[in-house]
Structure 1
């Protein structure tokens, strides 16, 4: 993901609500939100180039999302796939299912929020490798800065989520519409701090918006709305799940 807001245990009805946009090269192949045939407990989109994902849920009470951290020198070749880290966290197996702080240095810069069995944690390797538990609250992430930095677009997404929770907290379609409303072409790197939530660009732009909502009883939904290079909607997929079913 490139910008997101997460409400964790911050509302009387909702245990978790996540909203965010994924920006990526339009030429990079990806499968839409679906249940994975090789790991059927996972519901996520899939990067068809590296095989991992940017965000997903597992019916085994897991959730994970990653934002890449911008690196002026570009990604370092030979590093492990950050999408594979998310896949392992969701499945609960694999080399990075329970990564140590030293494991986090295997990757190019990132921030991850992961939920497992009722605990939310931040995992990051910038400015140093660390992992710590998240208290109840509303948090923001973008690929422009560190965890919960007050970048303007991050603050706008947090405000969208805060207002939704303060309202009736029911119409998830309204969240998807709001993620589309702050719309502009990509800006040059020197002005990245003021980039929009939603980016229209024929080469690199917003590929999808996602909303995840899990209530206090463990019933949840994940919905993904996808876009073409012109910013037009190309499809929408929704799954419902029950985190109590596999306990």
Structure 2
């Protein structure tokens, strides 16, 4: 993912609300969201090049997502895929803190990453650029290619929109997609400086990246976890900025979400 927005224990009906955009090269082979044949309890897309995923949720409500960190440190070509971090957590369904404690010992093998792992009741954050794993407090949160809640323009714009939506009891999936479909670049004076040059920073600055012929937003994903335990999940795929398919899923967790 390159933009993650989520609300934890904010909405009266939905203790967990998630919305995110996956930005990627158009030629990277990808399977759209589905329950996996080799792990039927996992729902998410698949990176067909490295076998991992950028986002997923299980039938028990374990969920995870990852972003890369965009900074000026050299990139290791021999590093394992960061999508493996998400896939491993979803397959194993460990407690979030237990999974991250194990990950710390191998985190330096990867290029820069931020990972969120959680259940409907708790969420933990860890970055190999930002210290030790820590629990995420209740509230509205956002993350792009810096650390959790860093104030990049797309993060601020997205969290502001999500905050406003959380005031509506009848939360709409389409309203969440609208937040993710914001294609307005940030003013030059607000752009982060991550070593890719001003023109590229500008291209990467909107929540939704139209990009060029090689790179852009390929999927928008939203999911809601209701207090009853009902999960609603939707993924919208894009080709060159044009929506091509929306896949909808819903299922019940084994038990209601604790208040």
Give me the TM-score of the superposition, normalised by structure 1. 0.89
CA distance in structure 2 between the partners assigned to 1:226 and 1:183 by the alignment: 19
Contact 2:52 / 2:86 at 8 angstroms: preserved in 1?
Answer: yes
Instruction: State the 1:241 CA deviation.
Output: 1.8
Which digits, 9 at most, give the CA deviation of each residue in 1:186-232, with x for residues without a partner?
x9632527711111121110001110110122211111101112x11
| 4+ long deviations beyond 6 Å | none
The root-mean-square deviation of aligned C-alpha atoms, in Å, is: 2.5
Residue number in structure 1 paired with 2:216: 205
Tell me if structure 2 keeps the 8 A contact 1:5–1:158.
yes
Q: Name the structure 2 match of 1:81.
A: 81
- Output one character per residue of 1:163-196: Cα deviation in whole Å (capped at 9) or x when no partner: 11112442111211331133569x9632527711
Shift of 1:12: 1.6
* 3-state SS in 2 of match to 1:14: coil
1:227 is the counterpart of 2:230: no
Report the alpha carbon displacement of residue 41 of structure 1 after superposing the two structures with TM.
0.3
Q: Secondary structure at the match of 1:166?
A: coil
Counterparts in 2 of 1:183 and 1:236: CA distance versus 1, 3 Å: farther
Q: Residue 63 in 1 paired to residue 63 in 2?
A: yes
Report the 3-state secondary structure (helix = DSSP H, G, I; strand = E; otherwise coil) of the residue aligned with 1:102. Answer: helix
1:133 partnered with 2:135 = yes
State the 1:73 CA deviation. Answer: 4.2
Which structure 2 residues correspond to residues 149-188 of structure 1 after superposition, within 5 A? 149-183=150-184
Contact 2:9 2:15 (C-alpha < 8 Å) held by counterparts: yes
Deviation at 1:152, TM superposition (A): 0.8
More strand by share: 1
Question: Residues 2-21 of structure 1: matches in 2 within 5 Å?
Answer: 2-21=2-21
Alignment of structure 1 residues 75-114 onto 2, 5 Å: 75-92=75-92, 98-100=99-101, 101-114=104-117
Q: 1:183, 1:175 → 2: CA distance?
A: 17
Distance in 1 (alpha carbons) for counterparts of 2:243 and 2:74 = 30
Q: Indicate whether 1:47 and 2:47 are aligned.
A: yes
8 Å Cα contact 1:7/1:138 also seen in 2: yes
- Rate the CA distance shift 1:78–1:93 in 2: closer, same or farther, 3 A: farther
Conserved in 2, the CA contact under 8 Å of 1:60 and 1:246? no
Gaps of 5+ in 1: none
Q: CA deviation at 1:246?
A: 11
Deviation string 1:105-129 (CA, Å, 9 cap, x unpaired) is 232111111113632100211133x
